[in-house]
Structure 1
Amino acid sequence: MRDAFWKSLIVLGIFYAAAQQALGQPLVAKAESIESAVINADLVLVAKLVHIGEAKQVDGREFYNTNISIVRNLKQDLYLDEPHKKLQAELLGPAAVLADWKDRSCDLLVLIYNYEPYATKVIELAPGKMEVMKADFTLLREPEAVLNAAEQALQRTPPAIKRLHTFELHVPRNLIANTQWDNYFGLFLNVPVDQQLEKRAIKYLRSENYNERKEGARALRYFRSDENIARLKTLLQDPGWGYLRHPADNNGIEVRYYGVRDSAYLTLKSWDVEVDKPETQETILRSPPDNKDP
């Protein structure tokens, strides 16, 4: 039953992708885990907005030159002798939101990227005003929990590491119910490529869920080892499949895609492991095409 559900999702995914193009709006949300966000930022600050300057249009979006007053420095330049007390930052509008932050003098978590002035990210640190997800899919809505997660991620990351690769994980639909992502068909979360991701990938390889096995095989590409080579070889004949073409929409011809096999094979090939390419597609005639004249 579960495999049938995921097979139907693949067909729906093709439809949704077409609908997304037609509507010009995303149907699947994307977000960044708090760990990825803070690790890959140059400065991580708790600050208050104290001044809003002139607006400017950048790529069709309105940014404001602002001044922020620093409350806490969670991450700063290693060679900075004194911690920042005030900074200028280009913040994305709307102006009403910025003015509200300034008037209430609320605490903001500010992530600044040195060479991307218009990529600054801001999270209002107030209950009911925030929803942040950790790499383990834990949903955080309390300021202290968000700050703790940010600090723990920074403490685990050696100062010599400037950036970490990230990997996009599908978040189970039940975990985004009643959140800001509830109106989307799904959520993909960027998480750090670290030991936690490897553990999740290995766990996914043993899952009954076809998509999780496929995702696990893809994620393991970052973690070559003899043990992981052996694990992936066992998936080269994985029975899981999804519809590439549904017979109802393809003149009675069913085309199956064995995605777990394909992902395992591609990861092994990226490691220069010599293996035979498995069968990743299968065509089955379910019913003869109707050739009758209308």
Structure 2
Amino acid sequence: MRSAFASFMLCLLAAGAWSQTTAAPPLESLDVKVLNARFIALGTLKEFTAGVTLGAHRASLTISETLKGKPVKSLEGEISASQPQLEEWMALSTRLLIFRDEDDKPSEPMNLERPGLAVITADYKPLSDPVEILRYVKNVIRRWPEGKAPSVRLRLPPEGVALSWGSVGLLVPADERLEAYAVAEIRSKDPQRRTVGIDALRPFKSKANIDRLRLLLKDPTFTIVQAPEEYRGVELREYPVRERAYDVLREWKVEVPKLVLREEISRIATVKSLSLGVVGKGTDLGWLEKARNLRGLEMNAFEGLTTQQLEAVLRLKGLIRLAIPYAGIDDTRL
């Protein structure tokens, strides 16, 4: 049975497995937020004044516990919060989880007592209980003693959008769980899962992983991106698994042989209908004689048909339906 983590990762990655479209900025998982921070502490607001940065205030905080970084009893610096928020936090002695990144830019503390609090972990588990959040943060710090890790952007599944506040991606750490998952997925019999595994493998360049991706350069899976009925009887194929493996190997600066990533296959002898789009007076229709099984033909001839073009159409003995709207022939049964 597939593990819960593997199922989650497949769900996240599958939405973008067959395309490389650019999406909105991703949401940080709690794991990545913790790993990107140089300092994390639990504290309460003691006082605040106007800040230098727009939308920020200079705050003085009493620290009850330092989770990451040099332990301190108090902290001063700019935080992103409105004056009413700060007044409420100070009046109620609200417990705040403070994050400081390397650039020390003002950031909004996590209000652990806020109604409806929800944060998303790297395994897409929403946490709202302050005790669970603090325990999780400590576990991430313990699991990554060096304090930093590269991250990977994964696409959120449709059911995840409600928890993502409009974002369509989630940043997760590129750790050993992700690599193990990726290696398992590229061995799958499902071609979409193989592509998902390739995407997840990007941060893990190694000889073993290079060899694994080389095997996928001959993957037989293809998708039909242009039907022969819409492209002069020619079927256009793309090989997404090969292409994704090729892209990652090139990204890793690995020399790879010339590949067939797109291929045209003639189906003109068997195609039963064709839509030619716009046909001008200079368009050669002589190739239609190869369409021996053609039954339906549609085209837009704004300038009408030349004698040669009309003869090419009339030679189609099996044709039973012809549509040339701008020539006055509209869905004519022959």
TM-score between the two structures when normalised by the length of structure 2: 0.65
**1:92-131 CA distances to partner (integer Å, 9 max, x unpaired)?**
133333333223221111111243333x342111364322
Q: Is residue 148 of structure 1 aligned with residue 135 of structure 2?
A: yes
Residue of structure 1 in register with 2:93 after alignment:
105
Match of 2:242, SS state, is helix
Distance 1:54 1:263, change over 3 A: same
1:69 maps to 2:62: yes
Inter-partner Cα distance in structure 2 for 1:224 and 1:281: 26
Q: Does 2:39 align with 1:43?
A: yes
Q: How does 1:1-294 map to 2 (within 5 A)?
A: 28=24, 30-58=26-54, 62-77=55-70, 83-118=71-106, 120-126=107-113, 128-158=115-145, 161-174=146-159, 176=160, 178-181=162-165, 184=166, 187-206=168-187, 208=190, 210=192, 213-239=194-220, 257-282=238-263, 287-291=275-279, 292-293=301-302
Separation (CA, whole Å) in 2 of partners of 1:68 and 1:250 = 68
| Contact 1:198/1:220 (8 A) holds in 2 | yes
Shift of residue 154 of structure 1? 0.6
Pair 1:91–1:274, CA change in 2 (3 A): same
Partner amino acid, structure 2, of 1:236: L
Question: Considering only CA atoms, is the larger Rg found in Structure 1 or Structure 2?
Answer: 2
| Partners of 1:108 and 1:123 within 8 A in 2 | yes
Structure 1: how far apart are the matches of 2:111 and 2:98?
A: 9
Residue aligned with 2:122, SS: coil
RMSD over aligned CA atoms reads 3.7
2:288 matched residue in structure 1: none
Unaligned runs of 5+ in 1: 18-26, 78-82
Asked if the contact 1:127–1:142 (Cα under 8 Å) also holds between the matched residues in 2, the reply is no
What is the deviation of 1:173? 2.2
Worse overlay, 93-102 or 161-170: 93-102
Q: Secondary structure at the match of 1:233?
A: helix
Structure 1 Cα separation of the partners of residues 260 and 133 of structure 2 = 45
Residues in 2 aligned to 1:245 and 1:102: alpha-carbon distance in whole angstroms: 63
Name whichever of 124-133 and 245-254 sits farther off. 245-254
Question: Taking every aligned residue pair, what percent have the same amino acid on both sides?
Answer: 28
AA aligned opposite 1:219 = A
Q: How far, CA to CA, are the matches of 2:230 and 2:72 in structure 1? A: 61
1:222–1:178 Cα change, 3 Å: closer
Q: Which amino acid aligns with 1:170?
A: R
State the 1:75 CA deviation.
0.6
SS at match of 1:126: coil
How far has the Cα of 1:155 moved from its partner? 0.7
Could you tell me how far apart the structure 2 residues matched to 1:70 and 1:257 are? 57
Which amino acid in structure 1 is aligned with residue 38 of structure 2? Answer: D
Looking at structure 2, the residues matched to 99 and 145 of structure 1 have their Cα atoms a distance apart, in angstroms, of 27
